[in-house]
Structure 1
Amino acid sequence: MRIIKTIAALILAAHSASASPEFWVHEWPATDFSKTNVASWVEILSGGPPKDGIPAIDDPQFIAVADAALTPHEPVITVEIAGHSPRAYPIRYLIWHEIVNDQIGDLPIAVTFCPLCNSGITFDRRTAAGTLRFGVSGKLRNSDMIMFDRETQSWWQQAIGTAIVGELTGTQLQTLPSWMESWDTFRARNPDARVMAQPDFNRDYGANPYVNYDSSHRPFLYSGALPPHDIPALARVVRVGNQAWPLGRIAAAGAISESGLTLTWVAGQASALDSRNIGQGRDVGNIRVRDAAGADIAHDVLFAFAFHAFWPDGEWMIDPG
């Protein structure tokens, strides 16, 4: 973490001189920087890696649950599409690649994970401009990953699924129901499902490059306002739309029914951003969000600072007691 903080300080110190498309156009010659909904270019920072320095996965391979060598409590992102075998995307891979462009039947999806915000969201890749393939830009805004599409080179904010720079500025991606849960929980429910196989890259899969990050007092490369209600910046909250429930509140209750939703918490999922070994992180539990009919609802479990940054007028679902 000391190295991460040092890098952050150096980047922030240098950034005031390079927060302009003039410094990015050589790397992004096809991006239309005249179109943006970002208030100031100063909001956008380099996270360190260049464009595609964190390589997205475009052709994921899958294996049977019985053939996967994962540890019981390590997290996976689960995608269940009616009529198709459920799929698990291990965070041990996503923490190094951040985006997986996949296709389930006729549905093209992007499974995304931003480690700096703990934000794991699955998007429908279809837009009015066509089906897009996403990559990792290497840029951050409010410490959240900025994705880009390979078709128009527009930039997209991962946490909100919206294009913020380029030809498609303002375009909104549809968020699909998916959730993060432990490998044990997934395989117990879906013994005949499929799990993403290890990508063919030289990475230390299973290791967490952000050791103790979610115990930090301050996010990486973030200078915005901190959350209200004395909620720690890196405390996890469960976001549905513009509402956020503190994870600790749900864990204490086991289940909460509010706003037409039921949010449940069950122990057994390791934090991917705690110990060096992802599967040995402290227990943050498994969250599910369902509507009154029992259907899974699109949601995100992200850090409180990120919710406050992107939903400054959002509703904090604090325990009324």
Structure 2
Amino acid sequence: MHRIIALLTSLLLLTSHAGANPSLWRGEWPDTNFGKSAITDWSEILSGGPPKDGIPAIDAPKFRKAGSERRISGTEPVITLEMEGQTPRAYPIRYMTWHEIVNDRVGGVPVAVTFCPLCNSGMVFDRRVGGRVLSFGVSGKLRHSDMVMYDRETQSWWQQAIGEAIVGDLTGTKLTHMTSWMESWDQFRARNPQGLVMDEPAYNRSYGRNPYAGYDSSRQPFLYNGENPPHGIPPLERVVRVGDRAWPLTRIRAEGGVREADLAITWEKGQASALDHATIAKGRDVGTVRVRDGQGRDVPHDVMFAFAFHAFWPDGKWMVR
């Protein structure tokens, strides 16, 4: 598996670098303003394989009561969104893996639930920008192996890992990162027996399967040619990112949680890796992280791969001890 990923990465890098030029993208993106951009090196943006909307985002998803769901195994990961005054919602990674973006509305708040399998980055954003509600799709492009989203209203391109527009009219605009976390389906429904879970989309996909089997045990990321993380941290080790700080998950597990930088980061077993076994439910246990402040309130964070943190926060602080 590792050799196959390395070979595919090399081939795709060679072909993608040759085509990393906005003039060649204008046919597919006639309404994107390539004259406005935060990109200084266009070769950083590569084709991930699928074309624009080749990975279809989900709009206005349907939900069912948590107690009526029988298809999801207990250890499978979900993205949890608990907003004050609203019924908690779970977005299963078995669906997010194949769609990557869900445009939803919770209690009148338009949200984008996002998951980039190549970075293990799962975040929720407020879709309101400058008085306008945006809706997002999957561009088919990657930068530092992270999904490049686009908004349908201005056709601007957005970097998922940082929630910021990097190409187009909205370049420099940042989305509000909302509080959410990844946990197991068992953990969600035990705490929220009356909660809601996103229903299976009406697409012909192998839901519950992981098309990136063995990925998070690889020695190198897919379609990434940047620097490796410092401190000898493997590129595909999970880290807990809060702002511009990153805590290696191995440290959090070994210490039974950490308390520093005015945060309490806890770890609990029971969540399967979505990027290990070909069947998500059979993935090895990577556990669930919760991040809270001094008052016990949940804090926006991300559990991503170390290489992605280093790529997007090159001056970030590594909380190794």
TM-score (norm 1): 0.98
Quote the residue 1:250 is aligned against.
252
For the 8 Å contact 2:6–2:220, the answer to whether it is kept is: no
Alignment counterpart, residue 214 of structure 1, candidates 213, 216, 219: 216
Q: d(CA) in 1 for partners of 2:150 and 2:59?
A: 14
**1:304 and 2:299 matched:** no
Q: d(CA) in 2 for partners of 1:16 and 1:109?
A: 33
Q: d(CA) in 1 for partners of 2:101 and 2:15?
A: 28
Relative to structure 2, which stretch is displaced further, 36-45 or 8-17? 8-17
Quote the residue 1:176 is aligned against.
178
Q: d(CA) in 2 for partners of 1:15 and 1:134?
A: 24
Q: d(CA) in 1 for partners of 2:8 and 2:60?
A: 32
Secondary structure, in 3 states, of the residue corresponding to 2:59?
A: coil
Alignment counterpart, residue 84 of structure 1, candidates 83, 86, 95: 86
Structure 2 residue identity aligned to 1:152: T
Q: d(CA) in 1 for partners of 2:51 and 2:261?
A: 42
Q: d(CA) in 2 for partners of 1:286 and 1:241?
A: 19
Alignment counterpart, residue 241 of structure 1, candidates 240, 243, 263: 243
**1:63 and 2:64 matched:** yes
Quote the residue 2:32 is aligned against.
31
Q: d(CA) in 1 for partners of 2:154 and 2:4?
A: 35
Q: d(CA) in 2 for partners of 1:206 and 1:251?
A: 27
Secondary structure, in 3 states, of the residue corresponding to 1:16?
A: helix
Q: Percent identity?
A: 63
Alignment counterpart, residue 195 of structure 2, candidates 174, 193, 199: 193
Q: d(CA) in 2 for partners of 1:3 and 1:173?
A: 36
Q: d(CA) in 1 for partners of 2:7 and 2:210?
A: 19
Aligned length: 319
**CA shift for structure 1 position 59:** 1.6
Any residues of structure 2 matched to 1:35-54 within 5 Å, and which?
Answer: 35-54=36-55
Structure 1 residue identity aligned to 2:91: Y
Q: CA RMSD in A?
A: 0.9
Structure 1: state its 5+ residue gaps: none
User: Relative to structure 1, is the Cα distance of residues 10 and 186 closer, same or farther in structure 2, using a 3 angstrom cutoff?
Assistant: same
Runs of 4+ residues deviating >6 angstroms: none
Structure 2 residue identity aligned to 1:218: Q
TM-score (norm 2): 0.98
Secondary structure, in 3 states, of the residue corresponding to 2:122?
A: strand
Q: d(CA) in 2 for partners of 1:36 and 1:62?
A: 37
**1:136 and 2:151 matched:** no
Secondary structure, in 3 states, of the residue corresponding to 1:221?
A: coil
